[in-house]
Copies of this chain bind each other. A is one copy, B any other.
Amino acid sequence: MASRPTIADIAKRVGVSPGAVSFALNGRPGVSEATRARILEVAREMNWRPHRAARALGGSQAGAVGLVLARDPRTLGSEHFYTQILYGMQEALSARSIAVQMQLVRDTSAEIALYRDWASEHRVDGLVLVDQQVSDPRLDVVRELAIPAVTLGLPAVADQLPSVWVDDHEAMTTIVDYLAALDHRRIAHVAGPPLYQHTARRMQALREHGSSRGLSSESLPTDFSDAQGAAATRALLSRPAPPTAIVYDSDVMAAAGLGVALEMGVPVPQDLSIVSFDDSVLARIVHPALTCLSRNTYELGAQVAESLLEVIADPASRRSVRTETPRLVVRGSTTRPAR
């Protein structure tokens, strides 16, 4: 009884046909301005809202976009980053009452299966692909399914999808320059899995830029867990000539590394400088607080949403957006190395 008003209810009340109401509500020609105004007023008065399913059925807009995180969620350490991204996206999309469908899955194959499900159920109008891989099996699937998508990461060279990207090369360069200016000569990098494009890119940047500046440098890959971050740190600090600075691919690993250093009696920052690629509450509350690259993740999410809307509107669009390089926030974990 008290069920939501439909377009037919509005039509009856205004005295026009349902079709006319649809025209009016969607701002398309076919009704006079006077009638349109009447209809809009009545719709507002009756508190009308489109029935999503009905729209999705007729047209083809599901009114939702999808974001899948493929990680072992029990050990996820990047919640903060993706929470911010999600929030940025939602703020940008809620005005158009588009929902963001976020789902956590175990691995990439589950992610791909989910894309197929979503496609066949018409659940989403577009996808955001995060954690881009060097050789990414998702790209083929997305193309096959013909769902509009953007990547958050480097532009996929071979297989063009529009992307919103941060220049990880330049980011690493910024860090290396900063550390070199402080007179650090032996820099280590506790990286993520080289499977990920951003990790690969950072490793490459360190190798190239480090050697061009005459530094000794090295990247140790990990699985992003605090355990492996700690282990890598322990290995590095046990060497005869340990690095004077370690750059970590994530805040969790950096904090874990800091713990190892303190435990091993290596004072931070005096004997070891620590830099993290991620900023977060965690980076702020450990002692000393971590020097890190910081970016406006919220903005990044909003940008992703905008780009995705563009691709949905025009599936042929291939416009990639480069976002500003993260800036270095210096905190207590870095200083000149003691001689």
Contacts and interface: CB of A to CB of B under 8 A. Distances in A.
Contact of A286 (B94, B120, B230, B259): B259
A86 interface: yes
A290 to B, nearest CB: 12
Nearest to A297: B74
Contacts of A57: 51, 53-54, 57
19 contacts: A4-B122, A47-B120, A49-B120, A51-B57, A52-B62, A53-B54, A53-B56, A53-B57, A63-B121, A74-B84, A75-B281, A76-B80, A79-B80, A90-B104, A230-B285, A255-B282, A255-B286, A256-B285, A263-B287
Given A52-B122, A104-B86, A97 B73 contact: no
A150 interface: no
A53 B83 CA distance: 28
Given A51-B57, A52-B56, 18 more contacts: A47-B120, A49-B117, A49-B121, A52-B53, A52-B123, A53-B55, A63-B121, A73-B83, A73-B84, A73-B87, A83-B83, A86-B102, A90-B104, A100-B103, A101-B101, A252-B285, A256-B285, A286-B286
Contacts of A54: 53, 57
Interface string A277-289: 0000110111100
Contacts of A168: none
Given A49-B121, A56-B53, A99-B101, A226 B285 contact: yes
Q: Is the contact region of chain A dominated by helix, strand, or loop, or is it mixed?
A: helix
A337 interface: no
A137 interface: no
Contacts of A37: none
A242 interface: no
Contacts of A282: 255, 282
Contacts of A103: 90, 94, 99-100
Contacts of A252: 281, 285
A117 B93 CA distance: 14
A222 to B, nearest CB: 14
Contact of A76 (B47, B83, B100): B83
A121 B281 CA distance: 36
Contacts of A87: 73-74, 104
